[in-house]
């Protein structure tokens, strides 16, 4: 929020396009078309015109095709839609994308908190918002918290760039330290079967990769429409069950041929269970953040990966200890 821009960041108000072609309910179709022809070069890309009352409150919308096919002397009140989608200037900019995708509209009327008409969000602004949201998600997935600064990333001071990128990496470093302590706690298991160490990178990578896929799909889908946790989790678990079987079978065959049946069984079982848990984490953390009215993409990056890595190592060596 600045002196020139009174709106908080990421609100619809930052993107409002002025729209002067508004009419009263008592205006005729003929009068409306005449004014549009006179000012044809002064209005933005939109498929509708809007009707306001004497206080400039938005009361109706009329599509151009309805306007062009109506009788010239007909009043606008007779052809306008009183029920239509609109947003307020304080709405989050992401709601414009959701509405545009859901309703298939190219422009959205914007009002203030009291219903006064302010302008529209046209197709150009919708694409601009989509680009901004896309960049923000990419930055959050990478663990960069101050994504605003990274619009001009290579123009930043070195120290500013470090401050923006280091927080999640430090947390990841702490997670790595914790992983080493977990593995150290199972040193007796490694002493009994050293070849288990060969598969640690594979177990950790596969679990993280499947979890990342799951959370990316969830964040993308939930950004467009409301999702049912139970339905999404059940669906993902069914998909992941088949994926786990395929991956576990593959690593079992490889391990059997290279090391032996005993180690192959441990790795295969660990991978199957770990992948299933990674899917649960990949859904639950973004869902929890979303219900806390936080951006789910923030929790879908390094934070989730750290949890998955720790869980992968714990599951792997716990199963190894039980089966050896």
CATH 1.10.357.20: which residues of the chain? 176-323
How many whole angstroms separate alpha carbon 208 and alpha carbon 309? Answer: 7
* Per-residue confidence in pLDDT tens, the chain, 324 aa: 445 567 777 788 888 888 877 888 888 888 888 888 777 666 666 778 889 988 899 998 888 888 888 898 899 888 888 888 888 888 877 778 777 777 777 788 899 989 999 988 887 788 787 767 666 665 555 555 454 444 455 566 778 777 767 777 787 788 888 888 888 888 888 888 888 889 988 998 898 888 888 888 887 777 666 778 888 899 999 999 999 999 999 999 999 998 888 899 999 999 999 999 999 988 888 888 777 766 555 555 667 778 888 888 899 999 998 887
How do beta strands 48-52 and 108-111 pair?
A: unpaired
Label residue 282 exposed, middle or buried (CB < 10 Å: 0-12, 13-18, 19+).
buried
What CATH code would you report for 176-323? 1.10.357.20
* Residues carrying CATH 3.10.580.10, the chain: 12-131
Contact between residue 67 and residue 81 where contact means Cβ atoms under 8 Å apart: no
Res 180: pLDDT: 87
Task: Kindly give the pairing relationship between strand 87-88 and strand 108-111.
Answer: parallel
CB-based burial of residue 2 (10 Å sphere; 0-12 exposed, 13-18 middle, 19+ buried)?
Answer: exposed
Residues 299 and 136: their CA atoms lie apart, in Å, by 13
- Cα gap 88→90, rounded to integer Å: 5
Angle at 266 between CA 263 and CA 271, to 5 degrees: 125
What is the pTM (predicted TM-score) of this model?
0.59
The enclosing H or E element of 120 equals strand 117-121
Going by their DSSP bridges, the two strands 117-121 and 108-111 should be labelled as antiparallel
Residue range 12-131, CATH number: 3.10.580.10
Quote the pLDDT of residue 267.
Answer: 93
DSSP 150: G
Give the pLDDT score at 136: 64
């Amino acid at each position: 929020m600045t002196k020139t821009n009174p709106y908080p960041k990421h609100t619809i108000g930052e993107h409002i396009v002025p729209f002067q072609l508004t009419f009263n309910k008592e205006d005729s179709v003929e009068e409306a078309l005449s004014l549009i022809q006179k000012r044809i070069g002064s209005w933005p890309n939109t498929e509708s015109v809007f009707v306001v009352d004497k206080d400039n409150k938005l009361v109706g919308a009329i599509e151009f095709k309805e306007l062009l096919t109506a009788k010239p002397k007909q009043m606008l009140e007779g052809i306008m839609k009183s029920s239509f989608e609109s947003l307020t200037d304080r709405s989050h900019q992401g709601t414009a994308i959701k509405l545009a995708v859901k309703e298939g509209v190219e422009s959205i009327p914007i009002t203030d908190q009291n219903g006064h008409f302010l302008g529209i969000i046209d197709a150009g602004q919708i694409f601009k918002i989509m680009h901004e949201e896309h960049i923000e998600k990419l930055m959050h997935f990478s663990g960069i918290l101050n994504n605003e600064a990274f619009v001009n990333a290579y123009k930043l001071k070195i120290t500013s760039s470090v401050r923006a990128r280091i927080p999640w990496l430090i947390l990841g470093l702490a997670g790595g330290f914790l992983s080493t302590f977990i593995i150290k706690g199972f040193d007796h298991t490694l002493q009994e079967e050293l070849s288990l160490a060969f598969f640690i990178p594979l177990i950790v990578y596969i679990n993280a990769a499947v979890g990342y896929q799951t959370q990316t799909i969830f964040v993308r889908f939930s950004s467009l429409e409301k999702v049912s946790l139970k339905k999404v989790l059940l669906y993902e678990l069914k998909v992941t069950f088949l994926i786990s079987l395929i991956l576990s079978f593959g690593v079992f065959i490889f391990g059997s041929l290279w090391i032996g049946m005993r180690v192959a069984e441990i790795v295969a079982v660990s991978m199957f269970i770990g992948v299933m848990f990674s899917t649960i984490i990949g859904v639950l953390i973004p869902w929890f953040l979303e219900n806390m009215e936080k951006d789910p993409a923030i929790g879908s990056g390094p934070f989730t990966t750290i949890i998955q890595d720790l869980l992968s190592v714990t599951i792997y060596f716990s199963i190894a200890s039980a089966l050896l």
